[in-house]
Amino acid sequence: MRFFFKSRQFKIIAAVVAAVLVLTLIFGITGTRMAPQTDILGSIIQPFRAVASSIGEAIGDIASAYNEGNALMIENAQLRAQIDGLNDKLADYEKITTENETYKKYLSIKETHDDFTFVSANLIARDSDDPYLGFTINKGSMSDIKKYDPVITDSGVAGYVTEVGLTSSKVTTILSPKIIMGAIDNRSNDSGVVTGRLEFAKDGKCVFKNLARSSSVAIGDYVSTSGEGVFPQGLLIGSIEYIGTDSVNSSIYAEIKPFTDVSEIRDVMVITSFAGQLSDKEGK
């Protein structure tokens, strides 16, 4: 709108209005003392007076609309700011609610294992070249995280820490053959070790092996950590989906579907200390 008031068209209109107003003023003052021809000139000038009045009203309307437009723009900006603020609060509320629900699940683990010390962390990167879906979290040595610290979700074992920086750490997942954890069948108490295999990793599974031929493991059984190695006792690992015989040593093995879907991990807990925890050197 400010460009209109500076335009050539506006200047011409203003000049015409000014001229008409001047003429109107002159004839208004001298009208009683002028010759009869003044009536003729007055008749001629009358339409200009009407035009001037219309133009004046139009300019008033434009100025009013401009002021109202400015007020409307300010009001809209204020409303947008309020909406943005409400959206931010809603996002914060949803985040806090989700975190609270997650912490409630971890709290039940804490109640069962009061010797555990947790550090919460978020996934910040995945290793696209790792067939076992290794990932990086946003916590490191500054948060007291160490190599071989167990990493869990609210569903069960996810893996353990294999590299530690100041503010980040790399995690090797339960699908990797680098992880070998003592495990036990929760129903039959048969024990063995859980580790990863490339042929199983593509389906998101790992293997429960070194089971005695006399074992009574069954499909559907839950498997948890036995406490041998770097993992504490009693962490859920997964459920048995298939049972077979190892062609090398004739022992029994079982395919396990972990309770933690490694491909969907977003948030984890790192167990930084627990009763009977091994040192880094012992963990190797």
From first to last of its 284 residues, what are the pLDDT tens digits of the chain? 555 555 666 566 666 666 656 656 555 555 544 444 445 555 555 665 565 566 666 666 666 666 666 777 777 777 777 777 777 666 555 555 455 555 566 766 777 778 889 999 999 999 999 999 999 999 999 999 999 999 999 899 999 999 999 999 999 999 999 999 999 999 999 999 999 999 999 999 999 999 988 999 999 999 999 998 899 999 999 999 999 988 777 789 999 999 999 999 999 999 999 988 876 544 44
**Is the domain of 83 the same as that of 130?**
no
The pLDDT value recorded for residue 49 is: 59
**Is the domain of 6 the same as that of 133?**
no
**Is the domain of 161 the same as that of 190?**
yes
**Is the domain of 168 the same as that of 244?**
yes
The pLDDT value recorded for residue 36 is: 46
Find out whether 240 and 208 touch, Cβ atoms under 8 Å.
yes
Quick check: helix, strand or coil at residue 273?
Answer: strand
Based on its alpha-carbon atoms, the radius of gyration of the chain, rounded to whole angstroms, reads: 41
Domain boundary among 72, 94, 112: 112
**Is the domain of 143 the same as that of 272?**
yes
The pLDDT value recorded for residue 264 is: 95
CA distance 232 to 240: 21
**Is the domain of 278 the same as that of 172?**
yes
**Is the domain of 157 the same as that of 279?**
yes
Q: Give 4-26 pLDDT, tens digit per residue.
A: 555 666 566 666 666 656 656 55
**Is the domain of 88 the same as that of 122?**
no
**Is the domain of 268 the same as that of 200?**
yes
**Is the domain of 153 the same as that of 84?**
no
The pLDDT value recorded for residue 281 is: 45
**Is the domain of 78 the same as that of 165?**
no
Could you list the residue range(s) of the whole structural domain that residue 14 is in? 1-112
CA distance 186 to 188: 6
**Is the domain of 47 the same as that of 121?**
no
